[in-house]
Chain A
Amino acid sequence: MRTFEYAPALESRSIVTIGSEYGHFINGSFTKGRNHFPTLDPSTEEILSQIALGSVDEVDAAVDSARVAYESIWSKMSGRDRGKYLYRIARIMQERAREFAVLESLDNGKPIRESRDVDVPLAAAHFFYHAGWADKLDYAGLGDSPHPHGVAGQIIPWNFPLLMLSWKIAPALAAGNTVVLKPAETTSLTALLFAQVCQQAELPAGVVNIVTGNGQTGAALVNHPGIDKIAFTGSTEVGKAIARAIAPTSIKATLELGGKAANIVFDDAPIDECVEGIVNGIFFNQGHVCCAGSRLLLQENIADEVLAKLKVRMAKIRVGNPLDKNTDLGAINSQEQLNKIHELSNAGDAEGAERWSPECELPGRGYWFRPTIFTGVTQAHRIAQEEIFGPVLSVFTFRTPDEAIEKANNTPYGLSAGIWSEKGSKILWASQKLKAGVIWANTFNKFDPASPFGGYKESGWGREGGRHGLMAYLRGSEVGVENE
């Protein structure tokens, strides 16, 4: 059969202007920054800019600024006006959407198709959604006149830099908190562009502060005595360290941590749709997704058919330049992450699972990993238990629905799960049995600001999105009981 080659369709990077060096965004303006470290384009290893390494003093200044803004302005402002600022931010993000998308793909390595169609529109939508909550907090579910916590310390990961920023900042501000946000070490640029959006929106100084840096900067924020609320998205290991760090305090924390989601395919599933869903589940965003469908559970009698079709489909995944609009799978975000993916994949080989990847050329420079599946995986293998956070899928089989549920729940995580079946009652039965906060049935990796997101068990505390997510940024005035 004759096939056509794709011609490159590069998105222009001329829309973004990247400074040679950045400071922090504190009290409404950019500081100079003292020590700096480079941020790379992971697809080329080109140094994009120098990012300031936040120190304890700078975290201090940011928290002070957030405190002053909270006491003097933001907690006194009407919900209506807070909402108007959030609407402004949402609108400016939409206006500058292309700029954000290109910058995100450059700094993170994700395909422009995803940053343009998923990350940036969803980030703007989060601000728009929460803007409307700001003057309706009495209906958040905590009774009349709930209170914000005060100053929120927020730490976000590198996999969805701008989207995670919006998941954190939008509900915090809508509820009346002010924030100090620390972006991930390798992906600070869109957060710093967001700081410019705050300036354009004329958001009062100090309501949003952004301190860039590494894990030590994050630890300084978590341990700061001026913080009233912590929100963290990242690894379970760091999440537990945060839980321990705040143990002597009464600080509330929201933790969105790791996952090892089961994507279960029953033998009555629509096979072609489900193959698309499997690909989307594990190869979306290079598998750098905490809720990725990284464990594929196939009912035994259809396993061969699904795997054959999956391999045909995987051979068509286009790996390469993130700014090429045809690219499906971009670059791995960092050398460190690439090493981790190699380590766990090698463990898969060593423990006896069988590795398969399609033939595909990888660029010479940058951090790359082929889309990969492992078959013959057992429950005890490391690749069955540990989060790989890369484009690597572990495949299992099952005979009965009960066995599928037992295998799916056999993990300390509980963030998400997928179910593929044409039978409604089976979907609802499996949904009930799965210990996971988000269940995608006949779909996968869907996100929306109106939809609560978050995990059971060691996948974290609390929810983000929807009314449930908003509540995490509020303290209630409790309802009485008649017999009291």
Chain B
Amino acid sequence: MSERLEVRKTYKLYINGAFPRSESGRTYELRSEDGSFIANPCLASRKDLRDAVTAARAAQSGWANATAYNRGQILYRIAEMMDGRIDQFAREISLLDGISRKEAEMEVRAATDRWVWYAGWSDKLGAIAGATNPVSGPFYNFTIPEPLGVVGAIAPERKSLLGLIDAIAPVILSGNTVVALASTRAPLPAITLAEVIATSDLPKGVCNILTGKRGELAPWFASHMDIDGLDITGVEEPSLIAEIKVSGAQNLKRIHSFEGHPSPQRILAFMESKTIWHPIGV
């Protein structure tokens, strides 16, 4: 009996809840360390980025208006479904990152747990980042954290799944929408994550995932006037970082890069504080 021939997956982009190919028709070839063919993921173009930002903008106010409890439940469901795909994620990570299956499985578990940790923050941000302010006068004055809007996130090359989750979860849990660029070297777990998200209850357009080259796409993230914030943790070259910041100044994008342990500051970096005054009296 001959061995069963594998049904291979076509890895596409994830925009507005659908899986289109790049409008540019471009792909790039991934090979494993031993030289065997793995996949032809899409090389996203500037137009794909624009489409993703349009989808993210359209989805933003609806997602922000969902209750924090609702957003927390939807995010938690994504973690439930990630847990069911540990094998698939681990196979992809181990293949592309050149680490053992066991190590890859540990990364997936850590990534899922990280997602759960973030999900639980959705209805606690107001308690830690909001305030009632004792002003000197007959006014009730309070400050609340609000989502920023549309955020671009350039995920790191290494830790292809964990890094991507750190790029996506802290951004969307507060009510932002995101356009994320996956690791160029190891984009497969990102598209598998997109499949998880597509079958969860996250509204279309809230999370969009592109694959492609960061040197090519990052400057377009930076100059896009409808992106409000940018996580550039995945950009390492100092000259590209400076170029992104110069370009992002055109609409004063909130541009951040993170290292170390995850913290609520990573969530709050892509939120705004709104302070409201009202007189007290009869």
Contact = CB atoms under 8 A, between A and B. Distances in A.
Given A481-B262, A484-B261, A463 B246 contact: no
Contacts of B131: 452, 466-468
Nearest to B129: A141
Contacts of A439: 274-277
A479 B268 CA distance: 13
A481 B264 CA distance: 10
14 contacts: A239-B252, A247-B246, A248-B241, A431-B274, A439-B276, A442-B278, A450-B136, A467-B131, A468-B131, A478-B265, A480-B261, A481-B262, A483-B110, A483-B117
B275 A453 contact: yes
B135 A446 contact: yes
A142 B136 contact: no
Contacts of A244: 245-246, 249
B261 A478 contact: yes
Interface stretch (A296-304, A314-322, A454-462): A454-462
Nearest to A412: B251
Contacts of A35: none
A443 interface: yes
Across the A-B interface, the 10 shortest Cβ-Cβ residue pairs: A247-B245, A243-B249, A448-B135, A483-B113, A248-B242, A478-B263, A480-B261, A450-B133, A439-B276, A247-B246
Contacts of B276: 431, 438-439, 441
Contacts of A463: 273
Contact of B264 (A443, A457, A479): A479
B interface, how many residues as a size bin?
A: 35 or more
Contact of B245 (A243, A442, A443, A458): A243
Interface in B122-137: 128-129, 131, 133-137
B273 to A, nearest CB: 5
Contacts of A452: 131, 133, 143, 273, 275
B contacts with A: majority SS: mixed
Contacts of B110: 483-484
Interface of A: 125, 141-142, 236, 239-240, 243-244, 246-248, 255, 257, 412, 427, 431, 436-443, 446, 448, 450-454, 456-458, 460-461, 463, 466-468, 476, 478-484
Interface in B230-281: 238, 241-243, 245-246, 248-252, 254, 260-265, 272-279
Given A436-B274, A442-B279, A483-B113, A460 B133 contact: no
A420 to B, nearest CB: 11
Nearest to B141: A451
A456 B144 CA distance: 13
B263 A479 contact: yes
B261 A479 contact: yes
B114 A481 contact: yes
Interface in B81-140: 110, 113-114, 117, 128-129, 131, 133-137, 139
Contact of A240 (B242, B250, B277, B279): B250
Given A247-B246, A478-B260, A441 B113 contact: no
